[in-house]
Structure 1
């Protein structure tokens, strides 16, 4: 049975933090593939201005092109309706028969998991993997992890990764301020941002 990781996000833009998380999960969990899933129309982003999905897809595709174990899916980008995690996981399960899914997400999502739709279905469809994010202590994450495990009768995997305080919003702010972003994103992502005049 193939072990496949799934890393979703708006990726507006993708940065080295995303790629570090994906690589560490790939190695630590013994995965065979990590699927990057750019969000198409995420419900928690309603009202926020998000870069066109085709451009975000292109940035991810360029960023991961040198890594054979990183792939990308346009499932959510193609969806015209809101993108819910349980639907995405169901789709991936149907299209990857005989595979075990590992859904990789940040501590903020674990803290707010009760706001998600069909949480029980999510927990039954995949191995839920949580990594540390700035703003949350390890004790806080472990405490919430235990509560969620008990509530949904599941086991959650915790990845204790480095705190890389890189965010897409930081990169967008730096672009607006005319500051260099070379140390935060792959050069081909920077080139797309420049060519398309994004985040100005």
Structure 2
């Protein structure tokens, strides 16, 4: 089975994440995309606004009903800082026979050389870099072992971020259509991100 891994804080998950996953699914011929909320991301300084449990519940609400999308809590259960290489090695033990592809945005492709144990990770997975109109990827600038494991896929330009969604909610503005309906309901019921 070819599985795309989509990690992130998902604080909150939004339609941009889902569109990216669908583009990767189609471009790479994946069987499934697994959404993995991180416990503590190594590259982000600000702690998430929602609890890990709330982020997990929002991810589940967002992917419910899509036959190829699934939420996995491997990083949340593991605890501590989430390094992709450790997570992939654990998943390879849990799911032998699966081939894993790591989905990253075009902006993150350039950041790959800074990832923890990147050369080891590049030997374990194929990276699917999602390029957006107006964003250069310059993957040829990557070191060879990393560059050889990157496949680019096109996705539409969608200017939505979790940061912007949290800001809108803190200002009392709606986020309908920026997040899936069930996520919007969850945010409203739990009064998340209010100032």
Q: Is this a same-fold pair by TM over 0.5?
A: yes
Give the count of matched residue pairs: 194
Deviation at 1:81, TM superposition (A): 1.7
Runs of 4 or more, structure 1, over 6 Å off, are: none
The verdict on how the C-alpha distance between 1:152 and 1:31 changes in structure 2, with shifts beyond 3 A counting, is closer
Cα distance in 1 for partners of 2:79, 2:150 equals 31
Counting only pairs closer than 5 Å after superposition, residues 10-21 of structure 1 correspond to structure 2 as 10-21=9-20
The match for 2:161 is 167
Q: Residue 193 in 1 paired to residue 187 in 2?
A: yes
Cα distance in 2 for partners of 1:161, 1:12 equals 21
RMSD: 1.6
Counting only pairs closer than 5 Å after superposition, residues 129-168 of structure 1 correspond to structure 2 as 129-132=128-131, 137-138=135-136, 141=137, 143=138, 145-152=139-146, 154-168=148-162
Cα distance in 1 for partners of 2:177, 2:43 equals 28
Cα distance in 1 for partners of 2:59, 2:127 equals 23
TM-score w.r.t. length of structure 1: 0.91
The match for 1:40 is 39
Q: Which moved more, 1:106-115 or 1:51-60?
A: 106-115
Structure 1: 5+ residue stretches without partners: none
Cα distance in 2 for partners of 1:152, 1:44 equals 19
Cα distance in 1 for partners of 2:39, 2:61 equals 18
Structure 2: 5+ residue stretches without partners: none
